[in-house]
Chain A
Amino acid sequence: MGTPDINWQSLLRRLIAVAFGWFNSRGCNDDEAMLPGTGMSAKELAFKARLEFIKNESAYHTKSDEDRFRLMVTIMRNDFFDLVKRLETKRTVFLNSTTDDGGLENLPDPNSGFATAEAASVARTLYPLAEGEQELLDLIDAVVIFGCRKRKEIADLLEVSTQEITNRQKKLKYRRARRQQMITTKLVS
């Protein structure tokens, strides 16, 4: 089986955008930046997953482009978590506190209203992405405080359409993945 009618640009762009999200939230703010201690960049991870899919495509049962994309994201995700696990076993590098992997600092106040400690940790990671926008904070709260998991549940709670929830999710997803501008200090002589 071959690789029929593939839009390579679209496919690679989408795969790498997903990978940028994961890497960026672990402090890798550049397209060539490698996950500390792993020697792997977002681009390499995405390319590796694509390559693996090509080599084994005949063994996978995919019916549509979306099926294929979903499967490649799964391959990529598994590889990413393998890397992270390896990293956490070694733990030779201290990841900064804005990463997605939780952490012990600033654990929630037991009375803060979060469903679980994990929910509080996720909230702590994602609140800054809302940049003070109430509608995005509401979306996060619907999940971490009210325990909603499905888009429809969140939409019902917030009394908006599911499309509106999708739009808010996209906004947060973009902010999580976009390249962070380096803060430089100008030296005034």
Chain B
Amino acid sequence: MTKSNKNLGSPKSEREELFDAILGPDHEMDDGLAEEIISSYDVTGPQLVEEFKLLLKSELKRHLEATNEISRPLETALKSIIAEQRASEPAPVEAEPWISSVLAGDVASSAPEQLLYSWHKQKEGAVSENDRRILDELEGELKEK
């Protein structure tokens, strides 16, 4: 049976019409405003997509168990989400150009500098006081030997 889209929307009450007039209709929700709203809940777009993907997977499984058939619409949606997630992943570093840049002394531009030092939370390359103390002690021990 074909569903009529028009039948989906029941008439709005006076209260809803007043809200629509003051706030704008609910469907007027642009990306920027949506982002501001969900950010206030510490929720991100990728997180929502991931959660919805898990729901789709369980729904596909439930449908398969109930009917012994794969739901094509659900499968198509799941594939579409996976494709979007893959597309948004950073491009993998290719070995050959990376090695060439290292050999050419161009490491700084090809490697994420902050990552090298991030583990000890120093902004710059200098080691922390604690690390310096450990290194000094080790150096001392080696000299003794």
Measured between beta carbons, the chain B residues less than 8 angstroms from A56 are: 3
**Closest CB in chain A relative to B2 CB, distance in Å:** 5
Q: Chain A interface secondary structure, helix, strand, loop or mixed? A: helix
The answer to whether B48 and A9 touch across the interface, beta carbons within 8 angstroms, is yes
Interface footprint category on B: 35 or more
- Answer whether residue B27 sits at the interface, using C-beta atoms and an 8 A cutoff: yes
> How far is the CB of B108 from the nearest CB of chain A, in Å?
32
Of A62, A69, A139, which one neighbours B22 at CB under 8 angstroms? A139
Residue of B nearest to A25 (CB): B19
In the complex, are the beta carbons of A177 and B37 less than 8 A apart? Answer: yes
Q: Are A71 and B5 in contact (CB under 8 A)?
A: yes
Tell whether A13 pairs with B59 under 8 Å between CB atoms, given A8-B80, A43-B51: no
Measured CB to CB, the residues of B under 8 A from A are 1-3, 5, 8-10, 14-15, 17-19, 21-24, 26-31, 33-38, 40-43, 45-46, 48-49, 51-52, 55-56, 59, 71, 73-74, 76-77, 80-81, 84
Interchain residue pairs with CB less than 8 A apart (17): A3-B73, A13-B45, A18-B29, A20-B41, A31-B38, A31-B42, A47-B51, A74-B9, A75-B8, A118-B18, A122-B18, A143-B18, A144-B18, A174-B33, A177-B37, A178-B36, A179-B41
